[in-house]
Amino acid sequence: MALLAAFGESPFLHVHIAFLRFLNQFVYIKHDVGQMVVGIFRSQPKKDRNGRTLCEEYMLSSSARDLISNMGKKCLLDAENWSREGNFGDKNAPQAVFNALDNMLKDSLERLQKMRKSITLVKADLAEYTCKFNYIEYTAIIRMLCLEGKLGAAFWLRSKMLQKGFLPDVFTHNHLVNRLCKMGLMEKADWLIKQMSELGPSPNCATYNTFIKGYCLTNNLDKALHLFSTMTCAGIQPNKVTCNILVHALCGKGLLKEAKILFEKILDDGGGEAKPDLVTSTIFMDYHFKNGAMIKALSLWDELHQKNGKVDVVAYNVIIHGLCMNQKMNLAYGYACEMLKKGLLPDVFTYNTLISALSKEGKIDDACYLLGVMFKMGIMPDHISYNIMMKGLCLKGYAARAKQLLQFMLDHIMLPKPLLWNLLIDCYGRCGDLSNAFFMKDQMLAFGVRPNVFTYNVLINAQVKIGNFYDAYSLKEDMVLNGVCPDLVTYNLLIGAACNLGNLSFPLLLLDEMLKMRYEPDLITYTELIRGYCMRGSIKEAEELFARIQKSGLLIDHVPVQILFNKYCKLEEPVMAFNFYQDWLANKRYCHLH
């Protein structure tokens, strides 16, 4: 209505009035811009401090510049001329205004459309990037969970990916198969591989190699060979890794001939010359050493040197270990020196092999020296190294040096396992030093290592040796209070100690308790009871117990026979002793025949 007042009524304006009302129902900004332009036309231009009109000042703003670009320079100049000259009654003036408003509306709609397209493209790019990032992140998490042994979480995440339409790649699936095989879940691994064949991704040679190795680790060589035979049917050619896995498994079963045939078959099918590589030669060499064929192993080593020339640390470890097994320490030292000359540094396995061989020969000082060399070479001993040294020291009765070694581990923030504590406690017990034995047990608890049944059995044995039966029995009660269940060895030690007291009521009570714990008496149990009966002079009960041993099917050694034979001799019954011995020999021959 303000525009009509400014330009006056005319028949020409009726059409434009209807059009303006239609536009005002949908686009409110057009009405506001129209008000602004009419206001400029109706009033005389007012100037500011700088001498510019309000229209000019408005056009210098960012919004006005935007309007200028949309309306066009020609329309703006015409509007300025009309406002200055006062030609508001000109018929062309309203048409120019509506043209300007139409251009502004079109430009706004075009900009809005471009903005929507840009937003849609950005959303699509972001969605694609997010999907790709999530896929990489999820597959990496699945592989990490498999390495940590968290299979439940790994399969849950895999199912979530499948629900979202993402299929993990074959590398990720191989991690799942590998962890399943290491845990012995072969049926689950078989299900996963079948699902891979049906849904994807297709299994590759690494998948089959992992599956075959899993069967070999679970001692199921037949299924491993069957799986090997189905690889070619699935369009997958076995490689040298497949060959080495199966050769190692066959050699472990003593099937050397079959291993060589399989090796030649795989290489012939692969189009290569049947020439063993370093890994295969090392496997055959290790097999020869373990079976005492040292000459064959050394000839294979020479052949490997002539054909390949390059030998790694693993191959040297195999030959050093084989020579130590055959008690050829001088040759083993020679190959260890050869390693160093070739620039190959011995690893922890090399040192453990040499230390173990020295400890078995009783050369504890040399073994300790070699342990010190490990530190100087920057190779940290592992738990196997300390186990070997602790066993050697304790077997020699060097309790003080063994204690120093254990303290050295504690000082270097390496918590010894219960086996090492038990070895030291046993060493003190055999030496009769019970105070230090119990002190080491208290040290175990102080460092958070829980004593096990072997710990208590060692202490009970030490008490029994010095005749402290009641102290030994109290240790059994202490076991139960600490949540450690006594085993057959515990009861045998206590029954033997109770028989030494000459009172058979207590050993029989222990026997009943043992039976209630569902432990079957063994030869030691019966032997201790026979000895107890013979000490009391109850020869009839001892004979009945010996007859029970024969009926039980246990392999009888000479100990219970010697106890009864000596008892007959003490009773001056040589005929009974002779007949008893003859019956035992006849029964022994019968058992051997059957």
Distance between CA atoms of 392 and 423, rounded to whole angstroms? 10
Residue 574 pLDDT > 60, yes or no? yes
pLDDT at 192: 93
- When pLDDT is cut at 50, 70 and 90, the band that residue 364 belongs to is very high
Which letter does DSSP use for residue 203 in this model?
P
- pLDDT tens digit sequence for 376-419: 988 989 989 999 999 999 999 999 999 999 999 998 888 899 99
Q: CA torsion, points 541, 542, 543, 544, in degrees to nearest 10?
A: 50
In a domain, 336, yes or no: no
pLDDT at 60: 43
Residue 380, helix vs strand vs coil: coil
DSSP for 441-479, please give it: HHHHHHTTPPP-HHHHHHHHHHHHHTT-HHHHHHHHHHH
Instruction: Specify the amino acid at residue 416.
Output: P
- Cβ neighbours around 19 below 10 Å, total: 13
Q: For the chain, how far is it from start to end, CA to CA, in angstroms? A: 125
Residue 53, helix vs strand vs coil: strand
Contact of 210 with 227, CB cutoff 8 Å? no
- When pLDDT is cut at 50, 70 and 90, the band that residue 592 belongs to is low
Q: CA torsion, points 135, 139, 144, 147, in degrees to nearest 10?
A: 180
Contact of 489 with 460, CB cutoff 8 Å? no
In a domain, 246, yes or no: no
In a domain, 56, yes or no: yes
In a domain, 76, yes or no: yes
pLDDT at 452: 94
- pLDDT tens digit sequence for 424-476: 999 999 988 999 999 999 999 999 999 999 999 999 999 999 889 999 999 99
- Cβ neighbours around 574 below 10 Å, total: 10
pLDDT at 97: 65
Contact of 388 with 360, CB cutoff 8 Å? no
With CA atoms as reference, report the closest residue to 23 among 97, 95, 102. 102
Residue 355 pLDDT > 90, yes or no? yes
pLDDT at 493: 94
Instruction: List residues bridging with 47 in a β-sheet.
Output: 53
Residue 44 pLDDT > 50, yes or no? no
DSSP for 403-445, please give it: HHHHHHHHHTT-PPPHHHHHHHHHHHHHTT-HHHHHHHHHHHH
pLDDT at 487: 93
Read off the pLDDT of each residue in 326-354 and give the average, rounded to a whole number.
92
Read off the pLDDT of each residue in 468-485 and give the average, rounded to a whole number.
91
Residue 204, helix vs strand vs coil: coil
pLDDT at 270: 55
Distance between CA atoms of 312 and 274, rounded to whole angstroms? 21
pLDDT at 356: 94
How many domains are contained in the chain?
1
pLDDT at 103: 75
Residue 94 CA, chain-centre distance (Å), reads 83
pLDDT at 578: 87
The model's pTM: 0.66
Q: Any idea which residue has 């006005």 for tokens?
A: 64
Residue 346 pLDDT > 50, yes or no? yes
In a domain, 101, yes or no: yes
pLDDT at 131: 65
Distance between CA atoms of 524 and 496, rounded to whole angstroms? 9
Residue 47, helix vs strand vs coil: strand
DSSP for 332-369, please give it: HHHHHHHHHHTTPPP-HHHHHHHHHHHHHTT-HHHHHH
Residue 78, helix vs strand vs coil: helix
Contact of 329 with 337, CB cutoff 8 Å? no
pLDDT at 549: 85
With CA atoms as reference, report the closest residue to 101 among 31, 14, 41. 31
- When pLDDT is cut at 50, 70 and 90, the band that residue 314 belongs to is very high
pLDDT at 72: 47
Residue 42 pLDDT > 80, yes or no? no
Read off the pLDDT of each residue in 479-508 and give the average, rounded to a whole number.
90
In a domain, 142, yes or no: no
User: Sign of the C-alpha dihedral, residues 98, 99, 104, 107?
Assistant: positive
pLDDT at 33: 44
Helix, strand, coil % in the chain, rounded to nearest 5: 75, 0, 25
- When pLDDT is cut at 50, 70 and 90, the band that residue 319 belongs to is very high
- pLDDT tens digit sequence for 134-186: 788 889 999 999 999 899 999 999 998 888 888 899 999 999 999 999 999 99
Read off the pLDDT of each residue in 491-520 and give the average, rounded to a whole number.
90
pLDDT at 93: 55
Residue 120 pLDDT > 80, yes or no? no
Instruction: Give percent above pLDDT 90 in the chain.
Output: 40
In a domain, 104, yes or no: yes
Which range in 101-110, 449-458, 548-557 is most confidently predicted, on average pLDDT? 449-458
Mean pLDDT for all residues in the chain: 80
Contact of 207 with 195, CB cutoff 8 Å? no
Domain of 62 in residue numbering reads as: 2-125
